[in-house]
Amino acid sequence: MFGSTKESVRPARLDRDRGLVESARRDPACFDALYRKYLAQVYSYAFYELRDHHAAEDATERVFMQALTGLSRFEERADSFVGAAGDAPEAAADASTFRVWLFRIARNVVSNERRRNRRRPVASLEHTTGLAAADDIFESAAAREAGTAAWRAVARLPEDRRRAVVLRFVDEMSTAEIAAVLGRSEGAVRVLLHRALRSVAADLRGGLS
Amino acid sequence: MPGGTSRDARRTERYIDGLMEAEEHGAAEVPMDLDLDPAVLVAARELRASLTRVHPSFRFEEGLAARLAQVGAATQGPRREPAAQVFASPIAPFRAPGLAVAAAAAAVGGSMASAGRTATRDGLAPLDVPHRLSLTSRSNRPFVVGGVGVASAAISLGAAYVAWRWSRGSQTPMVRAVRAARSGRGGHASGHGRRAAVLHGILGVMS
């Protein structure tokens, strides 16, 4: 019965960057504010995915160039969640804020970069981060060892789980945002994260034993 | 069991949310979930501590900012509307406000209406184009120009009155005498000549 189906609608969230996006559309010089705000997030995502500073820089540059030139095509879409009564509301896959849109570009750029990198050797994440933190080697040796173990465990995760973990823990995205970036449902992302944590836990336990 | 996995996944999500919130607020203790696998809790804490955000070098940041500014400047030229085109329309209603509003709305209807559509599509409050135009045309320009017009008319009236007073011949004898004495003043007239003229004028008046 169609009439008996009740829908629960979660109020749409507003894009926090709407003002900045409108300013950047009017005057591209204002894009700088968006660039500064998201530089570290996009760079971190690229770095954890590509495990190389130079490759991450190239990818970051491509992401922001594409975002700047394609800003007129960006359309904010509210993530109005509609689900049957009693069920947990799920995110619409086409919900989009500027942040989600930017990370969709980043996901595509990084995927292309990874495909290219398969043909040539890439410096490992551990090696690169080890070089970067060489000056405080005595102070944080234990911490870095634990961190290296965690990184290694994350690096061993399947691609979709690793992406979900990086977006959740590094870029501090909500489950709904990750779902929009990866084009999955919120439920699927929750399960991805849960399984990723179980895998990391098993990996860490194996490393300790 | 799919239901169990989903439930655990929700618990894990809540735990991660609590973990991040506690860290954000600087809380000493992290909320616990005794039903969750302790190994998962440890892994979540480990990842939260280890997976830090990485910032690129300052040189890269500034270099990319400069390159983005160049690209932005290159795309900016054709998209920017000339100021005259934007502000020409509110000036037109000054002469005939009622008609000018419609004319201005027709003139800029394309650009303003498209801006309104864009704003609505992006979730912004829609712009009321005719209202904005009428407000602009009534409150700003006519007020300023009208004030100048009133001042100009007052000055003109004053000048006309002085001219009229000047040109109008007075009928009183004393005024005629003074005027005759003044007309008798020449650029090179001597003092004696002036006195004679005044006396002549007075005598003429008396006669």
Least confident of A48-57, A94-103, B176-185: B176-185
Selected for mutation to probe chain A from B47, B70, B71 (highest A CB count within 10 Å) is B47
| Nearest CB partner across the interface for B72, out of A29, A39, A168 | A29
pLDDT at A30: 92
Provide the number of CB pairs (under 8 Å) joining chain A to chain B. Answer: 143
pLDDT digits (tens, 9 = 90+) for A150-197: 888 898 999 999 999 999 999 999 999 999 999 999 999 999 999 999
Residue A28 and residue B72: Cβ atoms within 8 Å?
yes
Cβ-based neighbours of B189, under 8 Å, separated by 6 or more = B197
d(CA A61, nearest CA chain B) in Å = 7
Question: Around A98, how many Cα atoms within 13 Å sit in the side-chain half-sphere?
Answer: 25
Per CB-CB distance under 8 Å, the chain A contacts of B121 are 75
Q: Which of A19-33, B37-51, B172-186 has the lowest mean pLDDT?
A: B172-186
- Chain A closest CA to B120's CA: distance in Å? 11
Residue of B nearest to A143 (CA): B50
B54 CB within 8 Å of a chain A CB: yes
State the best of A14, A16, A58, A197 to mutate against chain B, taking most chain B CBs within 10 Å.
Answer: A197
Collect all residues of chain A within an 8 Å Cβ-Cβ radius of residue B8.
Answer: 194
User: What pTM was computed for the model?
Assistant: 0.58
Average pLDDT in the A76-84 region? 52
What is the tens place of the pLDDT at every residue in B61-100? 999 999 999 999 888 765 555 444 444 444 444 444 444 4
pLDDT in the model for residue A160: 92
Ranking A37-41, B44-48, B196-200 by mean pLDDT, the lowest is B196-200
Choose, out of A169, A192, A209, the residue to mutate when testing the contact with B (most B CBs < 10 Å): A169
Give the pLDDT score at B195. Answer: 63
SS3 B36: coil
Question: Mean pLDDT of all residues in chain A?
Answer: 79
pLDDT of residue A95: 62
| Distance (Å, whole) CA A188 – CA A191 | 5
Tell me which residue of B196, B85, B94 sits closest to B141, measured CA to CA: B94
So what's the ipTM on this one?
0.75
* CB pair distance less than 8 Å for B64 and A18: no
pLDDT attached to residue B204: 60
